[in-house]
Structure 1
Amino acid sequence: MDRLWRLPVPALRPRRAGPHERSRGDRRARVRGGSVDHRADPAARLPRLRRRRHVSAPVRHYPVFVDLAGRLAVVVGGGDEAERRARSLVKHGADVAVIAAEPTQGLIEMEAAGELTIERRGYVAGDLKGAFVVVCASGSEEIDTAASREAEAGGSLVAVPGLPALSNFTSPSVMRRGALQIAVSTGGTAPGLAKRIRAQIADEFGPEWGEYLELLGIVRAIVLDRVPESERRTRMLDALSADDSLREALAAGEHVDPEDVFKRLVMEQHD
């Protein structure tokens, strides 16, 4: 029995840390060695988070309406798609510059009318400096990729039609009725579907909605000017928005006087 206790015990090899344990230890060592602690400095994680975004879940775009009035918008390309985008940008008040060796006749006519400017040449690096928004529609993936990279590096909003992976925003399909705008987006996945949904919405919101919204704006201004009590103003404006009879009257071709609407709201609040 004594001999059994004297048998040599095999040396145990130290347990190797698993990959997750090693990475945690490495991170702790780097933090102790003076590297940035990502937990203390969230901004240091941004490049890693951006890389993760491109390889994991699809991007969910943040819906927002942007005021382009007086802002520089550069369109790279001079074909039909470039013309369509340029027209939309001009319509929304942007200061539009087109870079195209061979612009369409429509773009040339817009330039003659003073609506935009055209640089009759190809895109070169540095063309996008100072641009608030950039549309890359040259028809060349190589050129559009280069322009997209420059635009994003410069902090511009950039869209590349047909290549959502190179874009940091997409233009939705929009239904307009005066001040009312309803935007439909598929994130660039299926633009045709967005147009079909927009058409269905347009059938539901008739042309009277533009006049209806204008009427609500006038009555709202009257309420804000003549009703000093905050709670009463809120009740009156809530009642105004909930009253669909006004829109129905406008749809039937009737004239609606904003003063009459205000007087009715006042009477309803006294009841």
Structure 2
Amino acid sequence: MFYPININLDNMNILVVGGGKVALRKCKNFSDFGKSVTIVSPIFEDGFSELENVKLIKREFEERDLNNINMAIIATNNRKLNAEISDMCRKRNIITNVVDDIDKSNFTVSSYVKRGNLLIGISTGGTSPSLSAKIKRELEEKYGEEYEEYTLILGKLRKIIIKKYEDKSERKKQLNRLVKLSLDELKKEYIKEKINDK
């Protein structure tokens, strides 16, 4: 059973094995979070050269590639090789996602919608990637790009509210009131609170 979790990638050394479309998609996801990755594959899809923060190693995987790695994404088109690499990772306590074998993985990567600090994960536990994709499209429509600014302002207001109200129930009431406001109303509220906070 998989438990939903957000993980801090700051001090993680990440290896992706494979140079196909699935590996490319996984690497793009890491780029969304500003994380650099090392990718090992004898061949690469065209899109890899456009990625930032990647180190491409053009050759077959070797066990030494796992040295100093904390997280591995195994995405070759060879199931036997994927399983072998997964076993090597387990022996080294490397958290591993094998894209074509959930039983050989000790974590999965959810689909997600990211709007600044707002991060909504979507997972079917590997049973229906199509459903995850459908729900992702629906959430992208519902929570547009404006939510990046919305969550940023909410975060600033939250700090002011926490400082302003000692009573926890009043804090909660004020914070719940804020999330009902539109973006424009929230901006006005922030300006007002900022002036009053001085």
Cα shift readout 1:97-152 (whole Å, capped 9, x = no counterpart): 11111122322343xx5x21122110122321221110111111111111111112
Residue ranges of structure 2 left out of the alignment (5+ in a row):
none
SS across alignment from 1:138: coil
Q: Give the aligned partner of residue 19 of structure 2.
A: 78
Aligned residue pairs: how many? 197
Alignment of structure 1 residues 150-165 onto 2, 5 Å: 150-165=88-103
1:119 correspondence with 2:57: yes
State whether residues 69 and 92 of structure 1, in contact with CA within 8 Å, keep that contact through their aligned partners in structure 2: no
State whether residues 98 and 118 of structure 1, in contact with CA within 8 Å, keep that contact through their aligned partners in structure 2: yes
Task: State the distance in 1 between where 2:119 and 2:139 align.
Answer: 11
Q: Give the aligned partner of residue 184 of structure 2.
A: 249
Residue ranges of structure 1 left out of the alignment (5+ in a row):
1-59, 267-271
Alpha-carbon spacing, 1:255–1:230, altered in 2? closer, same or farther (3 Å): closer
Alpha-carbon spacing, 1:93–1:208, altered in 2? closer, same or farther (3 Å): closer
Please tell me the residue identity of whatever aligns with 1:210. Answer: E
State whether residues 98 and 116 of structure 1, in contact with CA within 8 Å, keep that contact through their aligned partners in structure 2: yes
State whether residues 70 and 95 of structure 1, in contact with CA within 8 Å, keep that contact through their aligned partners in structure 2: no
State the 1:247 CA deviation.
2.1
Task: State the distance in 2 between where 1:181 and 1:247 align.
Answer: 19
Please tell me the residue identity of whatever aligns with 1:158. Answer: T
State whether residues 69 and 93 of structure 1, in contact with CA within 8 Å, keep that contact through their aligned partners in structure 2: no
SS across alignment from 2:64: coil
Structure number with the higher strand fraction is 2
SS across alignment from 2:138: helix
Q: Give the aligned partner of residue 132 of structure 1.
A: 70
Q: Give the aligned partner of residue 202 of structure 1.
A: 140
SS across alignment from 1:165: helix
SS across alignment from 2:66: coil
Q: Give the aligned partner of residue 117 of structure 2.
A: 179
Alignment of structure 1 residues 140-151 onto 2, 5 Å: 140-151=78-89
State whether residues 70 and 94 of structure 1, in contact with CA within 8 Å, keep that contact through their aligned partners in structure 2: no
Identity of matched residues, %: 24
1:66 correspondence with 2:7: yes
Pick aligned residue for 1:193 from 131, 145, 153: 131
Q: Give the aligned partner of residue 108 of structure 2.
A: 170
Task: State the distance in 1 between where 2:180 and 2:103 align.
Answer: 46
Q: Give the aligned partner of residue 166 of structure 2.
A: 230
Alpha-carbon spacing, 1:89–1:243, altered in 2? closer, same or farther (3 Å): closer
Task: State the distance in 2 between where 1:105 and 1:198 align.
Answer: 26
Q: Give the aligned partner of residue 240 of structure 1.
A: 175
SS across alignment from 1:126: helix
Task: State the distance in 1 between where 2:40 and 2:114 align.
Answer: 30
Please tell me the residue identity of whatever aligns with 1:152. Answer: R
State the 1:248 CA deviation.
5.6
State the 1:94 CA deviation.
2.9
TM-score, normalising length: structure 1: 0.64
State whether residues 112 and 122 of structure 2, in contact with CA within 8 Å, keep that contact through their aligned partners in structure 1: yes
State the 1:75 CA deviation.
0.6
